[in-house]
């Protein structure tokens, strides 16, 4: 055991104890001095001369995670990683994509893709869906979860498309948002993937989580996240960016235990919940 580590026996006179108490009181805060019950003396770090080879830690002061160069680097690496990705929901028309997107809430694309082929075989047109009651549709979509609400949304959307839009899914965000069960995420999926219109950025659970990890937003509300992303991502990348981030969330950047060691964006990601890091992690960069 190194010298000085062996606990010293108290002196019979108690002199050492008095000395220790006196030192402790000197270093205690005023209110502790008054009470005479200081809890612990501060630990003093031994002064060490800096090594010549040691580099000063990079200061994060002035770091701007939304700087155009950083955003461009994120987009470039996403392009390298996922050059040709698109929506994973199987569909052959705007209507089928709309239905699949409504069914995908709180479910997985794999799960939805298991249900939709039979669903669209049974009800091949939007008119066929419009002729149903929500209760009639429920058994067909039950396995996607929240089936009562989803049945209501799908049948309600079909009825409105037939009655108000001549049986055609509108390619206009304001009109899409009038359909039951359709919020900005679903509208952006249909507009971007089917109509190739970049009206907004799809913010699903993956885009939500990863945008926060990358410090591209501090918001928690999907609409505010979308507004933040629209300000910093060029409009001609809005559609592809969403698809790429969704794929990244599925392949590497999982909600729990992201696979950081395999991630090509690792050295520009400062997420607080990384599982491995070569760069400083930022407290505020959380999913
Ligand atoms: S480094 Fe980790 S947390 Fe950051 S994007 Fe990659 S997988 Fe996600």
Q: What confidence tens digit (pLDDT) does each residue in 43-78 have?
A: 233 333 333 333 433 446 689 999 999 999 999 999
Q: Whose CA is nearest to atom 2 of ligand 1?
A: 260
Measure 258 CA to ligand 1 centroid, in angstroms.
6
Q: Which pLDDT score, from 0 to 100, does residue 34 have?
A: 35
CA 156 to chain centre: 31
The one catalytic residue in 150, 152, 204, 274 is 204
Q: What confidence tens digit (pLDDT) does each residue in 75-124 have?
A: 999 999 999 999 999 999 999 999 999 999 999 999 999 999 999 999 99
- Distance between CA atoms of 174 and 197, rounded to whole angstroms? 13
Ramachandran area for residue 257 (φ above 0: left; ψ -120 to 50: alpha; else beta): left
**Residue 236 designated active-site:** no
**Residue 185 designated active-site:** yes
Instruction: Using the atom order of ligand 1, give the atom closest to the CA of residue 275.
Output: 2
Q: Whose CA is nearest to atom 3 of ligand 1?
A: 274
Ligand 1 neighbours by CB, cut-off 6 Å: 213, 252-253, 258-260, 263, 265-266, 269, 271, 274
Q: Whose CA is nearest to atom 4 of ligand 1?
A: 269
Instruction: Using the atom order of ligand 1, give the atom closest to the CA of residue 263.
Output: 6
Q: What confidence tens digit (pLDDT) does each residue in 155-205 have?
A: 999 999 999 999 999 999 999 999 999 999 999 999 999 999 999 999 999
pLDDT beyond 90 at 217: yes
Instruction: Using the atom order of ligand 1, give the atom closest to the CA of residue 273.
Output: 3
Q: Which pLDDT score, from 0 to 100, does residue 56 have?
A: 37
Measure 248 CA to ligand 1 centroid, in angstroms.
9
* Mean pLDDT, residues 32-39: 36
pTM of the model: 0.78
Best substitution site from 70, 246, 251, 252 to test ligand 1's pocket, by max atoms within 8 Å of Cβ? Answer: 252
Alpha-carbon dihedral 60, 65, 68, 74, rounded to 10 degrees: 120
Q: Which pLDDT score, from 0 to 100, does residue 62 have?
A: 81
Asked whether the beta carbons of 210 and 223 are under 8 A apart, the reply is no
Instruction: Using the atom order of ligand 1, give the atom closest to the CA of residue 260.
Output: 2
The one catalytic residue in 150, 185, 228, 274 is 185
Q: Whose CA is nearest to atom 8 of ligand 1?
A: 253
- Phi then psi dihedrals of residue 205, to 5 deg: -65, -35
User: Per-residue confidence at 287, pLDDT binned at 50, 70, 90?
Assistant: confident
* DSSP-assigned states of every residue in 210-257: HHHHTTS----SHHHHHHHHHHHS-GGGHHHHHHHHHHHHHHT--SSS
Q: What confidence tens digit (pLDDT) does each residue in 227-251 have?
A: 999 999 999 999 999 999 999 999 9
Measure 208 CA to ligand 1 centroid, in angstroms.
14
Q: Which pLDDT score, from 0 to 100, does residue 160 have?
A: 98
């Amino acid at each position: 055991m190194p010298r000085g580590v062996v606990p010293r026996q108290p002196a019979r006179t108690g002199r050492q104890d008095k000395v220790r108490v006196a030192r402790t009181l000197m270093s205690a805060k005023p209110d502790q001095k008054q009470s005479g019950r200081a809890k612990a003396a501060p630990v003093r770090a031994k002064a060490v001369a800096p090594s010549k080879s040691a580099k000063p830690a990079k200061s994060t002061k002035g770091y701007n995670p939304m700087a155009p160069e950083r955003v461009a680097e994120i987009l470039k690496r996403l392009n390298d990683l996922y050059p040709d990705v698109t929506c994973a929901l199987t569909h052959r028309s705007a209507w089928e994509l709309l239905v699949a997107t409504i069914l995908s809430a709180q479910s997985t694309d794999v799960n939805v893709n298991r249900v939709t082929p039979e669903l669209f075989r049974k009800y091949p047109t939007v008119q066929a869906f419009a002729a149903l009651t929500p209760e009639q549709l429920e058994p067909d979509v039950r396995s996607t979860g929240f089936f009562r609400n989803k049945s209501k949304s799908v049948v309600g959307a079909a009825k409105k498309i037939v009655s108000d839009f001549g049986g055609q899914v509108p390619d206009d965000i304001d009109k899409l948002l009038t359909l039951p069960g359709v919020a900005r995420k679903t509208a952006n999926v249909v507009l971007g993937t089917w109509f190739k219109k970049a009206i907004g950025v799809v913010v699903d659970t993956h885009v939500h989580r990863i945008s926060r990890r990358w410090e591209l937003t501090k918001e928690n509300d999907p609409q505010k996240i979308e507004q933040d992303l629209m300000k910093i991502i060029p409009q001609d990348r809005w559609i592809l960016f969403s698809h790429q981030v969704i794929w990244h969330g599925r392949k590497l950047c999982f909600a729990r235990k992201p696979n950081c060691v395999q991630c090509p964006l690792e050295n520009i990601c400062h997420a607080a919940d990384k599982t491995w890091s070569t760069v400083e992690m930022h407290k505020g960069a959380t999913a």
